Amino acid sequence: GSCRHRCCPGRNNACWAPGARRARCYCDSYCQRTGDCCQDYLTTCRRAAVGCAVGPWGPWSGCSSPCGVGSRARSRQVTVPPRHGGDPCPDLKQRRGCLGQHPTCGTAK
């Protein structure tokens, strides 16, 4: 089977071609995981692949708890989305623990 004129991103069961011995071969980027790609998938489809690109991490947020255990978060944005079976995007959010220590913590009201 041949992927000429047909390359699909992600998992797409409709993106196939007739292969050897009446079996289907696939031209979607998921075929690399399942091992059922058409013979020319890599040369035909992967050359057009564009991997995900992300921007820099933003600043950490303030602690979610002014007094005691909380969490901070930061994020980043996708600058170039993956196309044609390119590398997927890495994590866009991170979270970590923190200890809120506002000046009013521990004082009786």
Into how many domains does the chain fold?
A: 2
Which residues form the domain of 4?
A: 1-48
Q: Indicate whether 5 and 39 sit together in one domain.
A: yes
pTM of the predicted protein model: 0.53
How far is residue 82's CA from residue 54's CA, in Å, rounded to a whole number? 10
Q: Indicate whether 37 and 58 sit together in one domain.
A: no
Q: What is the pLDDT of residue 82?
A: 84
Classify burial at 29, counting beta carbons within 10 Å of its beta carbon; exposed 0-12, middle 13-18, buried 19 or more: buried
pLDDT in tens, 29-77: 889 889 999 988 888 887 667 788 999 999 999 999 999 899 999 999 9
Question: Encoding tokens for residue 41?
Answer: 């998938």
Q: Indicate whether 86 and 101 sit together in one domain.
A: yes
How far is residue 46's CA from residue 53's CA, in Å, rounded to a whole number? 17
* Whether pLDDT at 1 is above 80: no
